[in-house]
Structure 1
Amino acid sequence: MKIRSLLKLTNTYFLALSLIALLTLAIFITMHQVILTQRDSAYLINLSGSQRWLSQKASLLSIELVYSKNPAEQNLLRHNLLQIVDQIQSNNQLLLKGTPDKPQHLSPMMKSLYFNSPLNSETHLQRFTSEALALAKEPSLSLTPNNPHFTYVLQNNETLLENFVSIVNQYQTESEAKIQRLQLLNSASGAIILLTITFLGVYIFRPLTNTLVAEKIQLEKTNQELSLLSSMDGLTGIANRRQFDQSLAQLWSLASRKTEPIALIICDIDFFKAYNDHYGHLQGDECLKKVASGLKESLKRQGDLLARYGGEEFVVILPNTDIDGAAKVAEVLRADIEGLEIPHLFSSVSPRITVSAGVACLYASSTSSPEHLIEAADQALYQAKQTGRNRIVLANGLAIPQT
């Protein structure tokens, strides 16, 4: 997937997460509002219910005041009635206006109950409290069953109670409706979150996961290709010096556990500088490719490793091979390269390309190292060059007869 598409998916992912965060915040606020609504509703309903009790209490005190003949008792009843009236008026102000830090906003229906006919609860309440207040201030001689203030309180108490019942019911109805709306909003927010999560899974997470998996596979493939390229010689296509060093170290460590032999063959194209000088470097590169291909085809075992050691030198690692086996392989390689019959008119040993090789073998152990093996094979190669080229020399100085 292109980088632009991946960025688009990522941006959509963050937008979706932002939406989820906002909706979660909305749900939290909604639930908080539900709690506040329930609390405020309970407060208003309790306050309205308290008004019912207080109005009944005012009626009872009015009756006791009228029929009491004890002046001291009358004074106490007057005092209690004044307190009840004051409490009724205070509660009424809270129901209508609230407090400065928490004002009350009446709905149109509540305003109608309080101020409009036929209920007009506010007018009834004000008249009731004013009549009860006037009764409490009447002199003792005027406290008779025919007192007009007393008559009004008794006759209108039931009407006032019915008004309070209507107000309580309306507060409860509005509270339930508001809570229902908030719960509906809460459910809608939850449903949108679920849909958003589903959208994330289907249209973002799955494509994003597939993209990441595809990118991982491509990256692993690229890394393998890069690793392969870093371990191959760019000209000949065989292992390079780096791969040779790593493979020899690994094979040496493995062989040292069982004290197995490892053989090494270092080959050098005879008089390759003269070949390059007269045929040109392009032809020289072609020669190196043909020699590398010929050496590779001559190796029969899968575990043997051919690498370009540097310039016109090639090296072969032969795991678990003694000196005799390595000598036979080296002679096959030499003969097969000569058999390619690549023309080399400027060679001092043959009119075609030939190689010289040094062969060494050591038993891998903790007291020896791959460097010892390389040094022994290199010394044998030097002797092969010094003694005429186009030949195989073992590390013990023995030259292998040509077949």
Structure 2
Amino acid sequence: MDRHESRIRFCVILLHYIALPNRPIRLSLNTSKETVVLRRVALIIETSRSYGRDLLSGVKRYAAEQASWSMFVELRDLESEPPPWLRNWDGDGILTRSGNPAIERAVTQVGVPTVELRSSRLAKRFPFVGVDNHAVGKLAASHFLELGYEHFGIYRLDTEQFFIDRRNSFVDHLRAAGFACEEFHQSGATEKPSQWERQQARLCQWIQQLPKPAAILACTDQLGCWLLDACRRADVRVPEQIAVVGVENDETLTTISTPTLSSVQLDGHRIGYQASRLLDRMMSGGKPRTTPLLVPPIGVVTRQSSDIVATSDPLLAAAIRFIRQHACEGIRIANVLEAVPLSRSQLERGCRELLQRSPNQEINRIRIQAAKELLRDTELSIEGIAERSGFTTQQYFVQLFKKHCGMTATAYRRSIREPMTQ
């Protein structure tokens, strides 16, 4: 087949597929070297939220790098009913986030290899790839502890096991550090105005009785928005009296709230990629996983709702804020003391009492965190990352990074980018 005939054949195949999107045919693209089977994969994943779109982005990256897939996806919400076309769909595999039992039943009836990305509670028949929610709770607790808080709360849900895991991990991590945690349980419907007002009144009452300053984890960004609304109603200042962190980092919810909401960033891209990798293996005859594959969160995206240091000493707070804003600019302790009227001994003593580390250790902690983000998100050289993170020499950066992280910077970059062990 010459190049002209090959182009004509490809156009005919493409037009045939576009004309019949709900019943795609099995395609083999013949080349001079090999025959590539184009597998048909349905994506039953919500597009209405940032996390769902991140999952789809990870799926797209896997398909572009590793597989030949014809993917069918449509605009949908997490609670949407099963798409009508799924009943007669003749495909090869499914990636699904089962928001209700109807989705689970419909997907099961198709009878093709399937990977679940939301919860193993509904889709017990399918292997599961999703969020490590124990790591979510621990990360949020560590974030608040690093800010110096001693009073804590959690706005929790019990409707899914992953919400329970977040709560348990958050409370357990605080308890291990010697702190208790107050809890507010979200219960009951909120669809009617009267139900919403009763809930917000209960939430206001709970917020007012908390010792302050306090730090609260909301188990979802939606709960975080409701919590910030209750703080405004109760005339409780955020973040001065109450700091709030949500979970998921949904772009709409975190930015529409007042003030803007800090949130735990889930690694939807990596979850989508790993789920695609597992599905591809299953469609090739491989065995499904028998245990969940859990992916840890990326980190806390700090916005106005937790952008504060929990201390009554305004000069110490200003000094720590200066460190966190300028650590990657190569500052020294002398620069901090020039910016804030504190003595070196006051700064040293205050940091050790509040953060359990010295000012210099805090500077290095911020720099290492920045370096980890650059290793994950950029192609900068190790030398470039050391410079961008505020280190004076590459050698010192390499030594300190290995001391803090237990591996070299190069090994860390490889571990965060390479596919996880299946």
Task: Say which structure is richer in helix.
Answer: 1
Normalization by structure 1: what TM-score? 0.21
Mark the structure with the bigger radius of gyration.
Answer: 1
